[in-house]
Structure 1
Amino acid sequence: MVAGCAGSGSASVPAESRASAASPASSEAAGNTARTAESTAGTTAGSTAPAGVEETLAKMSVEEKVGQLFMPVLYGQAADTVSGENQARFGVGTPAKMIAKYRPGGVILFPWAQNVKNVRQVVALTNGLQKASPRIPLLIGADQENGRVSRLAPLVTKMPGASVIGSTGDPSLARKAAKVTGTELRALGITLDFAPVADVNLNPRNPVIGPRAYGSDPRKVAPMVAAAVKGFHDAGVGAAAKHFPGHGDTTVDSHSGLPVIKHSRSQWERLDAPPFAAAIGEKVDMVMSAHVVMPRLDPSGDPATLSKPILTGLLRQKLGFDGVVSTDALDMEGVRKKYGDGEVAVRAVLAGADVLLMPPDYPKAYEAVLSAVRSGRISEERLDQSVRRLLKLKAARGILQRAPVADPAKAEKVLRSAEHRKVASLITGKAR
């Protein structure tokens, strides 16, 4: 998965978590966390309208609004790089021309797309991408969890992964690590990190989460996730908690299959929900969906990414989240098995998603959503809800009315600085 997705369907729970699940105290604490988050509905990221949001929304065409929902991968080391991959996927040769044509709300960078070579190159790329979107600045995202998923290595400080941080038992270290990473991303012109992982690694055979999670006990994972959100915000970078409703108890990788998790509603509330509730309590900017089926939460057989009972019923209504909901990567097999690439995008929006991440056939997905809006299948009110949330996120991170301009000299001083390496060493020294 893009920003790091998870795996599949066994309901096995390690001994530590079974003990937690059986504990009335832990169940009560998890329930209290969820109820607290539920009571914060209307106070999460995007609940008030910062300056410029409504004015910007009012001036947008339907085509521009639909564009805001998309976050693709663009190919090449610079905004004006001519790439056969860009031509094949978007009908234009350069990232800048793609942005001018489709006006996406953001982009996500990957080394395999030749986006990451060195510090000055990434700074020039992010500045060039922003210049190509003069009306509404872009969210520029990265999948920098640290540890196993580190898309900007070796440019950034090598921070320990979540499982190492979790082993310290000290949430303040999760905050420090996220602040370091966020500060370095912001220096590169990246304004959103697809982190932290909020999954609880309940299944030791999980092929895709594992050490990417802070641990296997929701009581210990939740404060780590909350602290990481604080750290990203300390650095002025958006955070995305993933993968909702929980990808921790799987044995199938959703990159290549469709995991099924058989947790009951009460098990979900006790085992999976607490870290997401904790993130929402810290006003996390974004929550990413999982391409997993939870038949006892939604019997339709659709993955959570396409499930209104899960994204709207549980995430929005139960946990009170009013920020941005992103799909996991739409090029993953876990979400492509049942519907075509155009219909998947439409169904994700109808389920409650605001960001359509990495659609494999961008023109087909864009046209499908645009046609659904024009036909009334997706109402203009529903479209405006998503766009408003995205604009509020950009305003909250200070990039709605003026795009950030990264300074290459400053970035070279910030990335892998002695101060940042010291934080990494501190965490490693306290790991158990």
Structure 2
Amino acid sequence: MKAMSNKLLPYKTAREKLTIKQKVGQLFMPAVFINDSEEEIIKIESLIRTNTIGAICFFHSRASAATNFEGKKDVIYNENSYERLKQLIKRYQKAADIPLLVAIDAEWGLAMRIENTNQYPYAITLGSIQEDNELIHEVGRQIALDCIKAGIHWNLAPVVDINNNPKNPVIGYRAFGDDKNEVTAKAEAYINGMKSVGVLNAIKHFPGHGDTDTDSHLGLPVIHKSRQELFENELYPYNKLIKKGVDAVMVGHLSVPGLDNSGNPSTTSPKIITDLLRNELNFEGVIISDALNMHAVSKKYSQNGALEANAFAAGMDMMCFSENSEEGIAKILSTASEHNIECSFRRLWKLKEKIFFEVNGKADLKCKSTSELNRKIASKCITELYGEPNNIKDFNKTHFLNLSIENHSKNFFSSEIESEYGKKRLTLNNLTIDEVKTKASQHQHIVLALFPPSVKPKNHFGFPRKLLDIIRSLIAQKNILIYLFGNPYVLDELGLKPDSNAVVIYQDFIEFQQEAFSHFSEKIQALGKLPITLKTFEA
């Protein structure tokens, strides 16, 4: 990356030029929104200009960001979001006396926040790949290149939570799996991919958000584990990756009595942030908060700025999604020591120097085909979960029913079965119960392509109860081969039998559907392994 104007001074000069208030302003990362009103954009420009804000984090819209994403407000979809993003980055940078670090959550690419941009597989999909972390390195690199092209410096990723709770409402598919060694190795590959082209990373959500059944956007999750258990599992990836070198660690909003029994959430816990992360794990980089507007912590402080001041006092360096930046700056100035402010400022400034002064001339910034990369991943991730393999022998040569349950995605898989095998594609969503019974009565064998309405477990992954009942009834009575184009945890919702057979494809991308059809046609083998434990297939 090239140096950005003469706004960013060398550290020693900046220390002489910036006031203590300006240094505190550098520690704030307010949220900005691609689909925002002109009035709100002007307010953000003023906030940046008058408070020497150090960074911004992009979200799609106010209706879909953080605590609001479960709300009832309509989310505006804008086909020009990507161009809008680049325009806003220019405007906000122009308002800043010192160049802003521009951040975004792009765990599976800019598509996590922005329409019509490159989307890569979820972490759970990458978790299924065996002995080919080079592919995951390439995903990290490609996402980073997409960030650079847009003007983004900091991808707040990857998630290194160990997802060992099937009811987890917010992590699940965003985690690489439930094995600490696999999570660590795959996260390292992803990080190294981003590093190779000079984009900043942030591992999250410290000290571990995997084993929860509460969404911290909406409430405070409690981790009921001992300190020893946490070190053996949840903290393992952090310990290993910090030693390898990471830019930032994001602290989640969690109650962890095994680490701090004071009642403080991790966001405002000196025992967790300073004693554990900074001193015991020897992390020297930037400690950044999860979004401070999330209800797990925001509802605990009635006074504007108090949350930010308490987080800083606990050892936090950067306040992400602070809704009260001006009050937070004032509160920190009135309560914190100049020494602590200076230490946090230095850590943040090192990241800015890394982005705006360190030019990696050796980095290859040429993008490769997203589609081809996704196809390679699809060929490596297909996972067979066969209860009774004999039940699927020569399945594609039998008299079978070509049935599907679909979402918004185009169903190439079932259409290709119809084209190649002459089995008419039927959509369960559009059939009445009587029609389903009639069709099923004529077949003992059914290929069921499942496209879940949601990737999250809320409300049975979006499946209506009546639809689930039909699926369960068919599974109980027929020989069904399921192809699941979604979150593998869906299988625990279906009432599968010990001899049930399923093939997990993980994604509904066209490339994944094409590889799934090749698998059904016996042209390729399944090479993936389930990265999580399902109750249905436990021994």
TM-score bracket relative to the smaller structure: 0.7 to 0.9
1:329 equivalent in alignment to 2:291: yes
- Residue 214 of structure 1: CA displacement? 0.3
Greater RCO, 1 or 2 (C-alpha within 8 Å, sep 6+): 1
For the 8 Å contact 2:29–2:318, the answer to whether it is kept is yes
1:127 equivalent in alignment to 2:83: no
Over the matched positions of the two proteins, sequence identity in percent amounts to 35
1:194 equivalent in alignment to 2:156: yes
Q: Which residue of 2 aligns with 1:380?
A: 338
Distance 1:227 1:427, change over 3 A: same
Give the aligned residue type for 1:174: I
Q: Which residue of 2 aligns with 1:267?
A: 229
For the 8 Å contact 1:226–1:278, the answer to whether it is kept is no
**3-state SS of the aligned residue for 2:264?**
coil
**3-state SS of the aligned residue for 2:103?**
strand
**3-state SS of the aligned residue for 2:205?**
strand
Residue by residue over 1:262-284, the C-alpha shift from the partner in whole angstroms, topping out at 9 and shown as x without a partner, is: 11111111111121123313321
What are the equivalent positions in structure 2 for 1:82-101 lying under 5 Å apart? 82-83=38-39, 85=40, 93-101=42-50
1:109 equivalent in alignment to 2:72: no
Give the Cα separation in 2 of the matches to 1:234 and 1:268: 31
Distance 1:121 1:149, change over 3 A: closer
- Residue 118 of structure 1: CA displacement? 3.8
Give the Cα separation in 1 of the matches to 2:341 and 2:23: 7
**3-state SS of the aligned residue for 1:287?**
strand
Larger radius of gyration: 2
Q: Which residue of 2 aligns with 1:351?
A: 314
Structure 1 unaligned runs (5+)? 1-49, 87-92, 373-377, 403-410
Moved more, 169-178 or 193-202: 169-178
- Residue 193 of structure 1: CA displacement? 0.6
1:367 to 308, 311, 330: 330
What are the equivalent positions in structure 2 for 1:133-172 lying under 5 Å apart? 133-134=96-97, 136-146=98-108, 150-155=112-117, 157-169=118-130, 170-172=132-134
Residue by residue over 1:55-114, the C-alpha shift from the partner in whole angstroms, topping out at 9 and shown as x without a partner, is: 222321012111011000234669xx731x45xxxxxx3433321111111001111158
Moved more, 259-268 or 276-285: 276-285
Distance 1:148 1:186, change over 3 A: closer
Give the Cα separation in 2 of the matches to 1:120 and 1:149: 13
Distance 1:234 1:243, change over 3 A: same
**3-state SS of the aligned residue for 1:112?**
coil
Residue by residue over 1:167-201, the C-alpha shift from the partner in whole angstroms, topping out at 9 and shown as x without a partner, is: 10332222111110010001100000110001000
Distance 1:282 1:126, change over 3 A: farther
- Residue 150 of structure 1: CA displacement? 0.8
Q: Which residue of 2 aligns with 1:428?
A: 378
For the 8 Å contact 2:33–2:60, the answer to whether it is kept is no
What are the equivalent positions in structure 2 for 1:284-363 lying under 5 Å apart? 284-340=246-302, 341-363=304-326
Give the aligned residue type for 2:38: V
Give the Cα separation in 2 of the matches to 1:327 and 1:127: 25
Give the Cα separation in 2 of the matches to 1:167 and 1:239: 22
For the 8 Å contact 2:161–2:234, the answer to whether it is kept is yes
1:177 to 136, 139, 159: 139
Residue by residue over 1:20-51, the C-alpha shift from the partner in whole angstroms, topping out at 9 and shown as x without a partner, is: xxxxxxxxxxxxxxxxxxxxxxxxxxxxxx99
Give the Cα separation in 1 of the matches to 2:35 and 2:90: 12
TM-score normalized by the length of structure 2: 0.62
2:21 to 60, 63, 70: 63
Q: Which residue of 1 aligns with 2:203?
A: 241
Give the aligned residue type for 2:181: R
For the 8 Å contact 1:148–1:211, the answer to whether it is kept is no
Residue by residue over 1:296-321, the C-alpha shift from the partner in whole angstroms, topping out at 9 and shown as x without a partner, is: 10011111111111111111112111
Structure 2 unaligned runs (5+)? 1-7, 63-75, 360-364, 382-527, 529-539
Distance 1:401 1:383, change over 3 A: farther
Give the Cα separation in 2 of the matches to 1:299 and 1:363: 31
Residue by residue over 1:316-353, the C-alpha shift from the partner in whole angstroms, topping out at 9 and shown as x without a partner, is: 11211110000101101111243334211111111111
1:282 equivalent in alignment to 2:244: yes
Distance 1:129 1:282, change over 3 A: farther
Distance 1:148 1:158, change over 3 A: closer
**3-state SS of the aligned residue for 2:202?**
strand
Give the aligned residue type for 1:196: P
Kindly tell me the number of residue pairs found equivalent between the two proteins. 354
For the 8 Å contact 1:223–1:278, the answer to whether it is kept is no
- Residue 138 of structure 1: CA displacement? 0.7
**C-alpha root-mean-square deviation of aligned residues, in Å?**
2.5
Give the Cα separation in 1 of the matches to 2:301 and 2:358: 37
Give the Cα separation in 2 of the matches to 1:57 and 1:283: 26
Moved more, 222-231 or 182-191: 222-231
- Residue 209 of structure 1: CA displacement? 0.5
